[in-house]
Every structure is written in structure tokens, then in C-alpha cells.
Amino acid sequence: MTQDAKRTARQGSPRPAARSLLGVFRHRVRGRVLALLCAMYFITYLDRVNISTAAPYIKADLGLNDTQLGLALSAFSIPYAFFQVFGGVLSDRFGPRRVLAVVGALWAIATVCTGFSVGLVTLFAARLGLGFGEGASFPTATNAMATWLPSDRRAFGQGITHASSRIGNAIAPIAVAGLIALYDWRLAFYVFGAISLLWTLAWALMYRNRPADHPKITAAELEELSTEQRAATRPRLPWRALLRRILPVTFVDFCYGWMLWVYLTWIPSFFQDSYGLNLGSFALFSTLVLVAGVLGDMVGGLVSDALLRRTGSLRIARRSVLVIGLLGSFAFIIPTLIVHQLLLTTICLAVAFFLLELTNPVLWTIPMDIAPSHAGTAGGLMNTGYGIAGILSPILFGLLVDLTGDWVASFALSAVLLLIGGLAALRIDPTKRITASVS
């Protein structure tokens, strides 16, 4: 047995009876928990990316230039970035049930308020509120998954939930375009805010922080979880050890997040400006690109877990997907810098997004590998990189477009960061697990 395999065994692998993919979730409460989390990821991404499709109309209605629009797009990520760790700590202390109920209500209200914006200041404030609301959501969801999912299905859990978020990405342009055509851009924010409130109510009613506390849990399902997952208390968090192990992942997440924010905020405007497409056309092409991310998240999670079961090596299972995904995405962004052809550009952007999203479930799984008892805090620390990228990427991308008059420099900078991130991923070691005895 390899050293990685021994470490995996010590972490508490699921019992053989629950090894099949469907067997892990069928007729089990964890399947319902995962479905609720999938719905949350879908809705949060509807709420955070709907502004990108509405952006040309918001820009015209509120009289903004590209730099001002980029500032408004970045507003979400200012509190989002800095609430990651704090939100993770809150989820570790108070549990996902209470934390997601509170922040879910907050992001729902902020989404509705976006529709009432009358200028840059009110738009910026509404997006700040959305960032506060959603900042704790993914670290808290990671906490829930670390508690409810067997160790060798965690990447799958991250993959399917993030695939749900990318479905939100893909549906948002079409849904927002339809609502704009039906009334105006404001209607999209009212509708999506109401959907968020409904999810928040369902979560508060159905979720429990400890599997043993759920009224429908069975003894068989509890037996499929490790002793650590069933524990009533958590060990003290060793901050120094956590920072040392997670910060390399945070940096790679920054590089990944920079490019993801380009897709989330600027792709519709890119298609409209570069190819002169109307609302229906640029929404359609944006959706075609973003659908590739759904497949990327699903494949990335499945491949990483399959590699872990086959090799017993966390290094191989996590690192290989990160490196291939980031460097492959870099390779397919390059043609968009030199070719101005709508179909080819769309294909390259879609393949690059697929490869980029291979890495997403792995980035979120590594905090659970390293600190399973403190997955909320570890996930929040990791995702701070994505949040910081969200502050810088939209506004600097827009600024470069304004300064140069085209999109080449902005995409070139993003490609370079993908290359750096792919190389930096070689230094990530998910086997350095934090235990209660670490100080």
C-alpha cells in the first residue's frame, strides 16, 4: 500500500457496501442534502451572473461607461472575498443550517434591491449586499458536504454542486434575456430574488447540522460515515498549520478565479461588442460557451474520485486534474487572441471553459482532504483567492478594454494567469492532513 493510500485509509474511507455511485445516495438522507445544495449553487449563480447579461441595458439605462460598469461588477467580490474565512468560521461554529438560512435571506434581498438601482452608487451598494450574502455560502456548503458525504465521494459532491452552478451560468443569459424582452432588465432581479427566498425556507426546514439529528436518518447510513463525521464536537483549529497548507491552494484558486470571472461578467459583452450580435444572439452564444462548464465540473469531480479509488493517491487524484485543466484552458484561450471568427472563437472559449471547470471541484475538495473537521474555515480560506480575483478581474478587464479599444490585452493577461496557476498547482500537497494533534 502506498503512503497516500495509508493516509486515505486513516481518513475513514466508506464501507464497501456503499461504494457504487448510486448506492451512496439512493434512499439516503445525504441524497436529499446534496439535492438541496445543488439547488443552492444553481440559484446563487443565477443571482451573481444575471447582471452580466443585463449589463448592456444597465449601462445604457444608468449612463455608465465600461470602467464604471466594471466597478459595479467588481462590487460583489469585495465583501465576497473578505467574508469567505469569517463565513467559514461561522459555519464551523454555528453549523450550516443557521448560517445558510441567514445569508440566504440576505442575498435574496440584495438581488431584489439590484432591480431598484437608479445609478452607480445604488447598483454598487446592491452588489455589495449580494457579496455579503453569498460570501459564506460555499464554505458553509463545503462544511455540510464534509459532514454528510463519504470521503471518496467528496469530489463528486463538489462536482455535481458546481455543475449545478454552471447550469445557472448557462441558463441565466437566456432567462434574463427572456425577462428583459417581457418587461425590462429589472424584472430578472425581482424574480431571482423571490426564488432565493423560497430556497432559504426549504433549507431551514429540511437540513440538520449533524446526520444523527436528522429524523429520517438510518443506522445503516450513519455507519457509512467515519467516526470523525459522526463526532458531536470538533477539535481546536490550528490556524498556523491550516494557513501553511491552504495558502498554495488559495493562490491557484486566484488564477482559476480570474479567468472564471471573465466568463461570468464579460462574455456576453464580448460577443455583442466584437461581433455586433443582438440580445438574442449574444445570449445564445454566451449560453453555448457556459454549458461547457457544466460538463467540466461533473467530469472533474468524477475523474478525481475515480483516480483516488484506483491509485489510492491523493496527489495523483487532485494534482493531475488541476494541472491538466489549467494548462489545457491556457492552450485553448490562445487562438481567441489571434482569430476573429465567431464559430471558432465560440468553440475555443467553450473548450477552454470545460478544461477550466475540471479544476473547480478539486479545488473545493482539497480543503476537505486537508481539514475535514474544519472544512468551512479551510474552504473559505481557499475561496478567498477566487474572491480577490473577483475584485480585480472584472474592473481591470474592463479598464484594459477601454484603454486599448479591443479585447486582446485583457484575454492575454487572463491566459498568462492560467499558465502560472497550472505550474503552481504542482506544489499543492493534499496529503498534508490536519488532525486534532497538530499545533
Nearest to 294 by CA among 30, 40, 31, 42: 42
Q: What is the mean pLDDT of the chain?
A: 85
**Burial, 86: exposed, middle or buried (Cβ in 10 Å; 0-12, 13-18, 19+)?**
middle
Arithmetic mean of pLDDT, 155-173? 84
pLDDT in tens, 291-314: 888 899 889 988 998 898 899 898
CATH code: domain of residue 50: 1.20.1250.20
pLDDT at 304: 92
Domain range for 169 = 22-427
**Residue 251 located in a structural domain:** yes
User: Which whole number is the average pLDDT over 261-290?
Assistant: 79
- What is the model's pLDDT at position 230? 62
Average pLDDT over residues 64-89: 83
Say whether 266 sits in a helix, a strand or coil.
Answer: coil
Phi, psi angle pair for 236, to nearest 5°: -60, 140
Instruction: Give me the mean pLDDT over the 192-217 stretch.
Output: 90
Number of domains into which the chain is organized: 1
Query: Is pLDDT above 80 for 343?
Result: yes
Residue 340 resides in a domain: yes
pTM metric for this prediction: 0.75
In a domain, 1, yes or no: no
pLDDT at position 10 over 70: no
pLDDT bracket for residue 20 (50, 70, 90): low
User: Is the pLDDT assigned to residue 16 strictly greater than 60?
Assistant: no
Residue 17 counted as domain residue: no
State the pLDDT at residue 439: 39
CA atoms of 30 and 427, how far apart (whole Å): 33
Q: What is the mean pLDDT of residues 258-265?
A: 87
Q: Among 58-62, 145-149, 284-288, where is mean pLDDT lowest?
A: 284-288
Winning range, highest mean pLDDT, from 45-54, 58-67, 128-137, 418-427? 418-427
8 domain-assigned: no
- The closest alpha carbon to 328, from 308, 353, 345, belongs to 353
Domain assignment present for residue 182? The answer is yes
| Residue 255 CB partners (closer than 8 Å, separation 6+) | 326, 385, 389, 417, 418, 420, 421, 422, 424
pLDDT over 50 (residue 376): yes
Contact yes or no for 235/436 (Cβ under 8 A):
yes
- Cα diameter, the chain: 64
- For residue 229, give the C-alpha cell: 463525521
Place 22 in a pLDDT band, splitting at 50, 70 and 90.
low
For the segment 163-188, the average pLDDT, to the nearest whole number, is: 86
pLDDT band at residue 232, thresholds of 50, 70 and 90?
low
Q: Is residue 17 predicted with pLDDT exceeding 70?
A: no
Instruction: Identify the band that residue 401 occupies on the pLDDT scale cut at 50, 70 and 90.
Output: confident
Question: How sure is the predictor about 14, in pLDDT bands with cuts at 50, 70 and 90?
Answer: very low
Q: Does residue 411 sit within a domain?
A: yes
Residue 15 belongs to a domain: no
Is the per-residue pLDDT at 267 higher than 90?
no
